[in-house]
Chains A and B, each alone.
Chain A
Amino acid sequence: DAGVTQSPTHLIKTRGQQVTLRCSPKSGHDTVSWYQQALGQGPQFIFQYYEEEERQRGNFPDRFSGHQFPNYSSELNVNALLLGDSALYLCASSGGRGETQYFGPGTRLLVL
């Protein structure tokens, strides 16, 4: 049973560019949450998708947007990249009653 997968593993972009990160949830899970983890910090909640709709959103600007597909996979898009967007981006999936979120390995984004 595959766990949560994310792609790519690493990414280098320059300021002003746009990036798309991808996540496939654990089998049987229908909810995907995205987190940003800056170096030396705990993860910060970006948003959560359920039934292809954004259900919750953290304190992130509109440059951060997402999408969930009918197969429950999800994308995180970041526009107009800033140096401060450099971080590890984690995807987590949950299902059923949704109490427990299981995390993928993350995508490390470096913005130059």
Chain B
Amino acid sequence: QVQLQESGPRLVKPSGTLSLTCVVSGDSITTINWWTWVRQSPGKGLEWIGEIYHSGSPNYNPSLKSRVTISVDTSKNQFSMKLTSVTAADTAVYYCARDSRAGMDHWGQGILVTVSS
């Protein structure tokens, strides 16, 4: 079955860069799906960060566009996200997900990233 697994540092210093990777298993990242990042601040709702297609340009949340970059590594069947100039407001659980355009139907378990000195 399709599985997604987030990984990366769980603690990032303010003004630093948050870098996460999502490894996909059970599906090829080159299929007709979009690969998505979503975050959830503690006790808050869901926020769409952006998405990427294996052969196209990524789409980003306008509020984060100046700080976020999403990329794909087809050789490793994974995709990644970098968020620069982080502050405490970027502390959240970060999820990766597959968007088949019939909805975000598979999600990783999420990774809590804390921004703190």
A binds B: no
Q: A residues touching B (Cβ–Cβ < 8 Å)?
A: none
Q: B residues touching A (Cβ–Cβ < 8 Å)?
A: none
